[in-house]
Amino acid sequence: MTFVDLDGLRCHVQRLGPQDGRPPAATAVLLHGLLTDSLASFYFTLAPALAAAGVEVLMYDQRGHGRTARPPAGYRLEQFVGDLERLLDRLAVTDRVHLVGNSFGGTVAFGLASRRPSQVACILAIESEPASPGWAGKLDGILRRSEQHLRDEDTLAWVATQRGAHTARLARSAGALLAGTSLARDIPASRLPAEAELRAIHCPVLAVYGSESDLADQAAWLDALLPDCRSVVVPGQEHSILIEAPDVVRELTLSWFAGHGVALRGPQAGRRLQPAVAKRSLV
Amino acid sequence: MTISEHPTGLRPPTEPEVLAELAGMLTVVLDDCGLGDAEVTMQTRFTEDLGLESIDLVTLAGQLRERWGDRINFAEFVAGMELDEIIGLTVGRLVEYVVDRLQPGERA
C-alpha cells in the first residue's frame, strides 16, 4: 500500500496505469463519496478499464475513509479539496487532470475546478452536485439521520437482510466514522461558493444521474448554471449507479474522455463507444 | 535465465502453499479485528465468511503484488466481474488465479 503524507494526514493512494510501456494518454483522478464509500468503489469498477485504455489512474481514500487517517475533526468541504490539491502537488502531477467524482467526490471535483481552473481538463460527476446552500441543507439532514440510524443494531440487522453482509459492514464502518468524528457537523458548515464562482467553472462537465434519484431533478438547473455542462440520466438507477451499473459508467467515461482529447488505446480504442451507450437508451 | 536460477528454486508454488501464504496475508489485512477462529480454506468467502470490506480486498491486492510481483494483477483479475461476484469471491478462486499466473508459461 502506498501512503502519501498530506501535511500530517496519512493518505492511502492507489495508482493503476497502462501496462504497454507507453506514456499515459491522460491522468484521471477518481474521487469517491462519503461514509460507505472508498477508493475500492473505483478500483473494482472503472479504474481497470481506464488503465487498459492507456489512462494513468490516481485513486485515494478521502480523509476519514478507507485506509486514510481519520482525524477527529476537520471535515469541511474545503479541507477535502485541500487534500486533493496537496496530493497533486506531492505527486508532482502537473498535467491537466480528468476528474471523475462519485456523489460527494463530484462536489470535491467542482471545488478543485473552482480553486485551480487551469489544472482541470474536465469533470464527470456521477450523482453529484457542486456545493450550495441547498446541498448543505440536504447533507445536514442525511448525515443527522445516518448518525442516528447507523448506531442502531436493529437498523444494521435490517441492512444485512435487505442488502447483504457486505453493505451491512460498510454501514457499520460509516457509523463508526460518524460517531468518532465531527464529519456530520463539519460538512454542512463548509464554505459555500457564491453562484458567480460556480458560473466561472468553465471546464466541460458531464453530469450523470439515476432516473430514480431525486438529484436528477436538478439536471436542468446545473446545465443552465455551468457554462459547459450536459446531463445524462440512466434509466432505472438510483444513487448508486457506479456500483449498480458499472458497465454503463465505464462506457460513459471512456466515450466522454475520447470526446475530450484523450487518445484512448488498447482494446477500448477501436470500439464505437457512443452507439453502445446510446443503445442503452440513456437520456 | 542464468545457471544460478536452479529450476527447483523457481518451482511455482502449489495451491496449499499459496493458500497458507494468503491466510497469513489475511491476518495482516484484518489487523484490528483479526481472523478470530475463522479457518481459511479454499471454500472460504472473503466477505461473507471473513468480513472483509472492499477496501480490504484492495489492501490484499497490494500484498499479493508485493509477494509475487506484477504478474499478480488483482485489478485485472476482477476486471471482468460484477461487483457482486467480487464480493462473493472465494479464497480458492484467488489461490487458483495466483498458481495459474505463476506457472512458467505465464512468465512473459
DSSP code string of A20-51:
SSSPPSEEEEEE--STT--THHHHTTTHHHHH
The residue in chain A having the minimum alpha-carbon distance to the alpha carbon of residue B63 is A1
Neighbours of A154 (CB within 10 A): 8
Given pLDDT bands bounded at 50, 70 and 90, which one contains residue A141? very high
* Residue A270: pLDDT band with limits 50, 70, 90: low
Q: Which residue among A1, A38, A52 sits closest to B54, beta carbon to beta carbon?
A: A38
- For residues B28-62, b (16+ Cβ closer than 10 Å) or e, as one string? ebbeeeeeeeeebeeebbbbebbbbbbbbbbbbbb
Quote the pLDDT of residue B34.
59
Q: Are A23 and A262 in contact (CB under 8 A)?
A: no
Query: Do the chains contact at A173 and B53, CB–CB below 8 Å?
Result: yes
pLDDT 10s digits, B40-89: 999 999 888 888 888 999 999 988 988 998 889 888 888 778 777 888 89
CA of A157 vs chain B CAs: smallest distance (Å): 14
pLDDT at position B1 over 50: no
Rounded CA-CA distance A5/A146 in Å is 30
Does B57 sit within 8 Å of A173, measured CB to CB?
A: no
Distances (CA, A) of A241 to A61, A210, A212, B83: 19, 7, 10, 12
C-alpha cell at A148: 442516528
pLDDT recorded at residue A274: 47
Residue B92 pLDDT greater than 80, yes or no: yes
User: Taking CB atoms and an 8 Å cutoff, what residues of chain B touch A45?
Assistant: 83
Mean pLDDT value of segment B11-18: 92
- The closest CB to that of A40, out of B51, B57, B82, belongs to B57
Domain boundaries, given as residue ranges, for chain A = 2-130+192-279, 132-189
CA distances to A41, A92, A125 from A85, rounded to whole Å, are: 22, 10, 18
Q: Which of A16, A43, A161 to mutate to test the interface with B (most CBs of B within 10 A)?
A: A43
pLDDT at A282 over 50: no
Rounded Cα–Cα distance for residues A255 and A196 (Å): 30
Chain A residues lying within 8 Å of B29, measured CB to CB: none
Nearest-angstrom CA–CA distance, A152 and A175: 9
Distance, C-alpha B4 to centroid of its chain: 28
Residue A238, min C-alpha distance to chain B (Å): 16
Model confidence, pTM: 0.89
Q: Is residue B7 part of a domain?
A: no
User: Is B55 within 8 Å of A44 when comparing Cβ atoms?
Assistant: no
Residue A179 has pLDDT above 90, yes or no: yes
**What is the spatial distance between Cα A145 and Cα A117, in angstroms, rounded to a whole number?**
35
Q: What is the mean pLDDT of residues A71-97?
A: 97
Are the beta carbons of A113 and A99 closer than 8 angstroms?
A: yes
Give pLDDT, residue B15: 94
Task: Give me the interface pTM, i.e. the ipTM.
Answer: 0.80
Domain that holds residue B30: 13-106
Select the highest-mean-pLDDT range: A13-22, A28-37, A214-223, B2-11. Answer: A28-37
Q: Is A117 in contact with A200 (CB distance < 8 Å)?
A: yes
CB contact under 8 A, A243 and B83: yes
Range A171-182 average pLDDT: 92
State how far the Cα of A110 lies from the Cα of A112, in Å rounded to an integer.
5
How far is it, in rounded angstroms, from Cα A106 to Cα A219? 14
Is residue B1 situated within a structural domain?
no
- 8 Å CB contact of B79 and A67: no
Check pLDDT > 50 for residue A132.
Answer: yes
Whole-number mean pLDDT of chain A? 91
Q: Which residues of A touch B81 (CB under 8 A)?
A: 44
Top pLDDT among B31 and A277 is at: B31
CATH number for position B65: 1.10.1200
Percent of chain B whose pLDDT exceeds 70: 81
Cell numbers linked to A16: 493503476
Asked, for residue B6, whether it belongs to a domain, the answer is no
What does the alpha-carbon distance between residue B45 and residue B88 come to, in Å, rounded to a whole number?
6
Q: How far is it, in rounded angstroms, from Cα A252 to Cα A266?
A: 17
Nearest to A125 by CA among A147, A101, A104: A101
pLDDT at residue B49 in the model: 85
- Provide residues of B within 8 Å CB-CB of chain A: 47-48, 51, 53-55, 57-59, 61-62, 75-76, 78-79, 81-83, 86-87
CA–CA separation, A194 and A132 (whole Å): 8
Residue type at A239 in one-letter notation: H
Nearest CA in chain A to B64: A1
Q: Per the structure, how many domains does chain B have?
A: 1
Fold (CATH) for A2-130+192-279: Rossmann fold (3.40.50)
Residue A88 in grid coordinates: 497533486
> Which residues does chain B have within 8 Å of residue A61's beta carbon, measured at their own beta carbons?
55
Q: Report d(CA A45, CA A62) in Å as an integer.
A: 18
pLDDT of A195 strictly over 90:
yes
- pLDDT (tens digit per residue) in A87-118: 999 999 988 999 999 999 999 999 999 999 99
Residue B39: the pLDDT is 82
